[in-house]
Amino acid sequence: MSKKIDRLKTLDRFIELPGDTGTAEDNLPLLSELIGAEVIDREGGRVLRIIDDIHLFPYSEIKDIDDHLQPNLYRRWHFTTRGGEEILDPTSFLFFDTETTGLSGGAGILAFLIGFGFFHKNCFRVVQYFLPDYPDEELFLNLAMSHITPETSLVSYNGKSYDWPLLKNRLTLNRMDIPEYGDHLDSLHPARSLFGKLGEDASLISMEKNLLSFDRGEDIPGYLIPSKYFDYLYDRQPGKIPEIIRHNRLDIISLALVTRYIPEIITRPELINRATLLEGVINHYYRNKRYQELIHFIERVTPGYIEECSAVGLLKYSLALKTIGQLEPARQIWAEVARSSSGQSIYGHLLELAKDQEHRQKQPEAALETVDLLLSMTVTPSRKKALIHRRRRLIGKSAKTDSKSL
């Protein structure tokens, strides 16, 4: 009996919240004043809306709004692997990010903060919607989704996999229509391809530090955000909510800046100032099969950076050369890496060297030596099988060559 009483007592905090003398809405004016928000009261719900107009982008060399709206700047292939030359209109971009009650998704997870960013007149406008309590979700979603039209190009950072599916799920559970939009560009994928080697990972905060050279200072860690929202639901005090609002606003601004740097780096070889950045460009052009453009880009990069690239980056560069018929510089790369490097990273170079020696240079003996070197490495069973097959063929070719010489 005593255990049941104890369990009932633990429920008291959900019935009468400490320090809360009224409803959740009674505390909204205090929170709205702290974060500079407007209280929207309609349809039986209440939602906070925060609007900020940014006239110059902070912590970026591309500060002017006009520089983000240049014609012919954004192309489909910048964001989508093997996409075409279709020009994307930045005035249709709607950058968005959510803060949620969990980090893994699922039917019970909802967004309690949705932030949007878009170009408005001569500024970049950030609009955020904050959900004070669960019963307000329908109004919250209605207000947020009103920004999306059939002409909208959504821009997110992992939003295709997380944010947008979560929002669609909440709309479905609330029996609301899912708005139609024109496009969805996920900047995570090109950013990871281009800038992933600049830091430890491809997170937005890592991009800020290593690409934008910006430090947020004291910022609430993402993993703490769900629990701090639950704290707010419990005691109705502002707590960390202002910090969460700031965190989300910075995410939106950084998303816009990282998105802008994608075409900036791809089209301006003079900006390459380190080998890791050049490797990212090589990777991006290579995965889009733009081999001729890659060669032309590297020709205009400051000398020295290509030689500092890793064996992986050099292999992609050499394969681009091979594809467009520039075999001699490709051979030089394979031979140089095989001579000066070691470990598994040289496998691809040695394999290309063996292929070239066998099929183009007609040197089966040299190819056989290279294959034997490959077999001395630790390789997967499938690779080993293919190498043994190649070796047998080369032995046969070598024997025919010897018999002809006799």
Residues 342-380: pLDDT tens digits? 888 899 999 999 999 999 999 999 999 999 999 999 889
Same domain, 234 and 314: no
Give tens-digit pLDDT for 267-325: 999 999 999 999 999 999 999 999 999 999 999 999 999 999 999 999 999 999 999 99
Same domain, 181 and 297: no
Indicate whether 3 belongs to any domain: no
Can you give the residue range of the structural domain that contains 285? 269-405
Can you tell me the distance from the alpha carbon of 42 to that of 138, in angstroms, rounded to the nearest whole number? Answer: 11
Report d(CA 385, CA 375) in Å as an integer. Answer: 10
Whole-angstrom distance, CA of residue 237 vs CA of residue 245: 15
Question: H-type helices in 22-69, by residue range?
Answer: 28-35
Give the phi and the psi of residue 187 in degrees, each rounded to 5: -70, -15
DSSP-derived secondary structure letter, 249 = H
The whole-number pLDDT of residue 200 equals 84
Quick one: average pLDDT of 161-186? 96
Residue 392 and residue 388: Cα distance in Å, rounded?
Answer: 6
Residue 55 in tokens: 């006239």
Largest CA distance in the chain: 104
Q: Residue 280 is part of a domain; what is its CATH number?
A: 1.25.40.10
Show Cβ contacts of residue 254 under 8 Å, excluding neighbours closer than 6 positions.
204, 205, 207, 208, 212, 214
What pLDDT score was predicted for residue 59? 76
Both 77 and 121 in one domain: the answer is yes
> Across-strand partners of 177?
none
Identify the domain boundary among 223, 252, 267.
267
Last residue of a domain, one of 252, 267, 282: 267
Q: pTM of the full predicted structure?
A: 0.87
